[in-house]
Amino acid sequence: MRVYLDNAATTAIDTEVLKEMYELMETQHGNPSSIHSHGREARAVVEKARKTVANLLQAAPAEIFFTSGGTEADNMAIRCGITDNGIKHAITSRIEHHAVLHTLEALEKSGLISLSFVRTDSMGNIDLQHLEDLLSANGRSFVSLMHANNELGTLTDIKAVGELCSQYDSIFHCDTVQTMGHYPHNLRELKVHFITCAAHKFHGPKGVGFLYINHDIKINPLIYGGSQERNMRGGTENIYGIAGLAKALSICYQEMDEHKAHIQALKTYMKEALVENIPGVLFNGETDPEKSLYTVLNVSFPEMEMADMLLFNLDIAGISVSGGSACSSGSNIGSHVLEAIGANPDRPAVRFSFSKFNTKDEVDYTISKLKEICSV
């Protein structure tokens, strides 16, 4: 049996998305920037997708800019949001994705900004009072905080963060890569300047995403070249990926309640089975379902002699999981997220992440293999 429980890293592409992309590949080969009929047809595909995304998020089409994925979108928001608006101080947390942390650290190293880190508790929750203290003490700032942590699943109250940023005339960037397609986002109500998306996190294709830029904020491009994306992102648009993104997001919104119920039940089932079958198991991040991303379960297993072989042994058993963030796979450096919340470094940690395609039988198989591995 082969089991895929690493959906926070990437998801299987939806059949309906594949169908939509294949049809376009067969019929649409024009360049969206060309003015002839083939180009106009390709342009119509892009603009239809942009309108679809905007309508789902309660945004204006002119606020949606397609990118190569979440990392590019984060870089564009942070680099351009800071440099083009004269921002000298930024605030983030130590548990952000490296696409955010490394970008801000590079700007600090170059002398463009000073960087402050808001405190987080042992569950990965943001200290909102400390955030307000930092905003009050440093003047207009650039705040970058993710909606859901990609390793822990802990959710941040981004509505409260947005209100604080608005109160202190600061710019708010929110990495929503893990929650896009899993939670509704109403950008008419949320006080946020930038949000980011990667289609492959919700059963869309890899290599495509978008950046939402609120109409109240002005930035210059990160990538110069052509006049694509209304002069905001040079490079010929990936029309097949863009159409696939819009189709995948549409499916997510249509089936969101059903999929949430299914996946949350799997997560709860696995958590209870782990407690019953693996003595001493602990969970990292928020355990309250209302404060935790329903697709992610981060588990610290008891100390064992072959702790560094846990992921390898699961892989041998046909079970694909992650030891934290997939972006750190292959590195001998431990998870910066688990370190920041004070997790015991001697306990091997595994992130199990679920999708609509997972089943209870897969969870049962995983638990049976974990019992074997942990009993050795």
Query: Which tens digit of pLDDT belongs to each residue from 119-170?
Result: 999 999 999 999 999 999 999 999 999 999 999 999 999 999 999 999 999 9
Tell me the two tokens of residue 291: 């404060």
Looking at the structure, tell me whether residues 7 and 20 fall in a common domain: no
Looking at the structure, tell me whether residues 58 and 192 fall in a common domain: yes
Looking at the structure, tell me whether residues 308 and 231 fall in a common domain: no
**CATH number of the domain that 306 lies in?**
3.90.1150.10
Q: Is 165 a catalytic residue?
A: no
Looking at the structure, tell me whether residues 123 and 231 fall in a common domain: yes
**Spatial separation of the C-alpha atoms in residues 74 and 185, rounded to whole Å:** 18
In the listed set 208, 231, 251, which residue is the last one of a domain according to the structure? 251
Looking at the structure, tell me whether residues 246 and 285 fall in a common domain: no
Looking at the structure, tell me whether residues 7 and 22 fall in a common domain: no
* 202-226: b (≥16 Cβ within 10 Å) or e: bbbbbbbbbbbbbeebebebbbeee
Which of 29-38, 162-171, 265-274, 299-308 comes out lowest in average pLDDT?
299-308
Q: How far is CA 192 from the centre of its chain?
A: 16
Torsion of CA 295, 1, 312, 309, to 10 degrees: 90
Report the percent of the chain where pLDDT is more than 70. 96
**Spatial separation of the C-alpha atoms in residues 145 and 142, rounded to whole Å:** 10
> Of these residues, 165, 252, 327, 374, which one is catalytic?
327
Query: Which tens digit of pLDDT belongs to each residue from 90-110?
Result: 999 999 999 999 999 999 999
The residue range of the domain holding 68 is 15-251
Which of 42-56, 242-256, 324-338, 361-375 comes out lowest in average pLDDT?
324-338
Query: Which tens digit of pLDDT belongs to each residue from 301-359?
Result: 998 866 678 999 999 999 999 985 333 444 456 899 999 999 988 899 999 999 999 99
Pick from 227, 190, 209, 231: which is nearest to 58 by CA? 190
Looking at the structure, tell me whether residues 106 and 226 fall in a common domain: yes
Looking at the structure, tell me whether residues 261 and 289 fall in a common domain: yes
Query: Which tens digit of pLDDT belongs to each residue from 126-136?
Result: 999 999 999 99
